[in-house]
Amino acid sequence: MAVTMNDVARAAGVSLKTVSNVLNDYEFIRPATKQRVQDAIAELGYEANLTARSLRSGKSKMLGLVLSDLSAPYYAELASRLMKAASRRGYRVLVEQSDAVADVELNALQGPFRQLTDGLLFTPLMIDADAIAARLGRKPLVLLGEHILDSRFDLVTMKNEEAAAALTARLLSGGRRRIAVIGAHSGESAGSAGLRLNGYRKALDQAGVPFDPALVAPCQWRRDNGAAAVAGLLEGGVEFDAVFGLNDALALGALHELLIRGVRVPREVAVAGFDDIDEARFASPSLTTVAPGMEEIAERSIGLLVDRIEGRETSGGGVQVEAGFLLQVRESAP
């Protein structure tokens, strides 16, 4: 049905191998031969069968990306950039949504998803380092955005703790003393939530402000969780003069709930988030947040993964990359 390499070889009067050589940019081909093959390819409209190539070569030119939910704005923006960075290097990205379910994360590490891809970009939420190590296999794996302190793994992350501390310090220096934190994850074995909470506590310590567990609201990381958390604090009679949402979606949900209830932001309560998603700039009031170097994260993680796959990065232990961050001070916490 479709045109095959055999058809091209016949049309060009050469063998299969020669066609293959031309397709794979083998150096030593006589120019005239190469031209004949290229003409035949153009004339017949030949396109390489990628599945056959994969089967034989063992490389699919696809990368796997495991994250909890593509509709979360941070992941949507990150995935978009990762796909572009991969595309520049000749790779496609296949996305798997884990919904923060441990079994899905485990299966992504060793099941068909792994098999289809040459390497994995993985955001572990529910499983720990040992679970990952037990399923490493021989294909490259780069951990993303989380901070598993384990030199066995390649890791591209952000300065979760320092950035959260810097943001908290900023709130403190603005005179806030009772800073509610929403989005803590007590059940999470490896994640940004814990690190960001650490940063918050360190900044409090530094300023000599006592830590009050009543100000910590555990919840998931969506807008509605943020709104509900703030509602819970207000209805529980907890007093606070600032809210630190551990990501922007939470902070934006919190902001919404505060405004609905007539709480003035930032006059009565300041609000800050983490991620600097595009939405943060356009909120009203615009959201103070941490810009975690998303482009750098995308570029470095794809670069590292592809370098591993193609053998340019061969260090034995894990390569650890930490992207820089920037405080984006806006209206919600000036």
Partner DNA sequence: CTGAAAGCGCTTACAG
Interface residues with its own copies (CB under 8 A)? Answer: 47-52, 54-55, 60, 69-71, 73, 76-77, 79-81, 83-84, 92-97, 111-113, 115-116, 222-224, 227, 252-253, 255-256, 259-260, 278-279, 281-284, 286
Q: How far apart are the first and last CA of the chain?
A: 65
Q: State the Cα–Cα distance between residues 204 and 202, nearest whole angstrom.
A: 5
238 binds, among DNA, its own copies, none (CB under 5 to 8 A by kind): none
Q: Which is nearer to its own copies, 196 or 222 (CB)?
A: 222
Q: State the Cα–Cα distance between residues 148 and 64, nearest whole angstrom.
A: 19
Q: Decide the pairing of beta strands 289-291 and 326-328.
A: antiparallel
Q: What is the DSSP letter of 317?
A: S
Is-contact 37 14, C-beta < 8 A? yes
- Report which of 247, 306, 308 is spatially closest to residue 78, judged by C-alpha positions: 247
Q: Which is nearer to DNA, 13 or 334 (CB)?
A: 13
For the CB of residue 253, give the shortest distance to its own copies in the complex, in Å. 6
CA geometry: angle at 184 spanning 212 and 261, to 5°? Answer: 75
223 binds, among its own copies, DNA, none (CB under 5 to 8 A by kind): its own copies
For the CB of residue 165, give the shortest distance to its own copies in the complex, in Å. 27
Query: What does the block give as tokens for 70?
Result: 């593509």
For the CB of residue 70, give the shortest distance to its own copies in the complex, in Å. 4
28 binds, among its own copies, DNA, none (CB under 5 to 8 A by kind): DNA
Write the burial class of residue 152 (CB in 10 Å: 0-12 exposed, 13-18 middle, 19+ buried).
Answer: middle
Among 10, 38, 44, 53, binds DNA (CB under 7 A): 53
Question: Per CB under 7 A, does 56 bind DNA?
Answer: yes
Give the total residue count for the chain. Answer: 334
69 binds, among its own copies, DNA, none (CB under 5 to 8 A by kind): its own copies
Q: Which is nearer to DNA, 51 or 186 (CB)?
A: 51
Q: State the Cα–Cα distance between residues 243 and 251, nearest whole angstrom.
A: 7
For the CB of residue 136, give the shortest distance to its own copies in the complex, in Å. 15
Residue type, 26: Y
Q: Which is nearer to DNA, 14 or 193 (CB)?
A: 14
Applying CB under 7 A, the residues found at the interface with DNA are: 1-2, 4-6, 13-18, 20-21, 23-24, 26, 28-30, 32-34, 46-49, 52-53, 55-57
